[in-house]
């Protein structure tokens, strides 16, 4: 039996919901045989989906990319929080057994809310990458690159606070997402942009660089070329897949069905063809059809955004 590679039919609008979301459940299916739900602001989370498929080939996956409102990076965190919870509600409605927030900006904006709101495990992308960076650095000088929203949130600064012996240097690389979303992962323009973004981090003598956006692994070649062989790149896609594996095993949620797993991809954008083209190039598999998801609006209480320190701490520096 061949594996299912389709974008499933979806409801016209996400339901307006408030309060904690229970796991709805279907009585004809074991919890462990339900799919893993993966969410990203666009196509970048396909790197996480690919890593999860590589490590857990028997697991089914339901993926939603919010391409209609991508990129999240320049948006206010309160708006990102609303969009992200809306899409996660949809995944819970589809009876997933786990939620994977495959977007650094969304993780920074609403991880606490998601873990309070849903009764199923929630895995994010920041802590897994931080743990690996702390382990692999040799000179205790670590860099993080991400979207404007991720860097502005100070989420990585907070995560690295548990390792005060490290010097942390951060840089926003907003246009990287633009290149990935249009499928341009090589070329002189990209290399020139990478050199401009990464020059301050090179000057700080870092030996480890966290790719703090799930789009960035598609630019690994250009980033590695600019940083040089002496800098280890830590990718959140692989490390997040490791966390998914650990969560499934520790909770006894590994899929036991002997039928072939299914892979369902949904997108909120206007161009099914464009998403299909990017998905095919990134996953290396042909996907033949797509039906787009309409977005709705939910009413949520707004938490204040994290304040931005006027200057970095002695062990932390944000590059221009």
Q: Are 121 and 247 in contact (CB under 8 A)?
A: yes
Residues serving a catalytic function are 103, 213
Phi, psi of 150 (to 5 degrees): -65, -45
Residue 274 phi/psi, 5-degree rounding, is: -65, -40
Assess contact for 84 and 101: CB atoms under 8 A: yes
- Rounded alpha-carbon distances, angstroms, from residue 78 to 105, 140, 272: 11, 33, 28
CB of 246 closer than 8 Å to CB of 269? no
CA–CA dist 254, 263 (Å, integer) = 16
Helices (H) then strands (E): counts for the chain: 11, 11
Torsion 86-268-9-236 (CA) sign: negative
CA angle 155, 224, 238 (to 5 degrees): 55
Place of tokens 């979303």: 181
Alpha-carbon span 76 to 97, nearest angstrom: 29
Helix (H, G, I), strand (E, B) or coil at 287: coil
CA-CA distance, 94 to 34, in Å (whole number)?
Answer: 9
């Amino acid at each position: 039996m061949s594996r299912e590679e389709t974008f499933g039919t979806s409801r016209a609008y996400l339901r307006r919901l408030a309060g904690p979301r229970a796991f709805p459940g279907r009585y004809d299916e074991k919890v462990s045989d339900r799919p893993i739900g993966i969410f990203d602001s666009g196509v970048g989370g396909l790197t996480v989906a690919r890593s999860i498929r590589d490590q857990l080939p028997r697991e089914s996956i339901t993926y939603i990319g919010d391409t209609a409102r991508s990129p999240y990076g320049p948006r206010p965190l309160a708006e990102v929080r609303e969009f992200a919870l809306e899409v996660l509600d949809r995944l819970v409605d589809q009876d997933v057994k786990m939620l994977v927030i495959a977007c650094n900006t969304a993780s920074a904006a609403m991880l606490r809310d998601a873990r309070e709101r849903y009764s199923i495990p929630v895995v994010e992308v920041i802590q897994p990458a931080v743990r690996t960076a702390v382990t692999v650095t040799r000179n205790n000088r670590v860099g993080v690159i991400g979207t404007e929203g991720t860097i502005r949130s100070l989420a990585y600064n907070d995560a690295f606070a548990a390792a005060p012996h490290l010097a942390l240097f951060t840089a926003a690389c907003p246009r990287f997402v633009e290149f990935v979303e249009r499928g341009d992962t090589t070329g002189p323009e990209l290399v020139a942009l990478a050199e401009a973004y990464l020059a301050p981090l090179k000057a700080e003598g870092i030996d480890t660089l966290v790719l703090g956006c799930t789009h960035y692994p598609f630019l690994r070649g250009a980033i590695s070329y600019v940083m040089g062989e002496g800098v280890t790149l830590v990718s959140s896609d692989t490390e997040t897949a490791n966390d998914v594996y650990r969560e499934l095993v520790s909770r006894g949620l590994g899929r036991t069905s002997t039928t072939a797993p299914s892979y369902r991809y949904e997108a909120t954008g206007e161009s099914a063809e464009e998403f299909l083209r990017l998905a095919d190039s990134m996953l290396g598999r042909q996907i033949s059809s797509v039906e787009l998801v309409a977005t709705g609006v939910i009413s949520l209480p707004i938490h204040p955004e994290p304040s931005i320190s006027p200057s970095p701490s002695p062990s932390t520096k944000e590059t221009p």
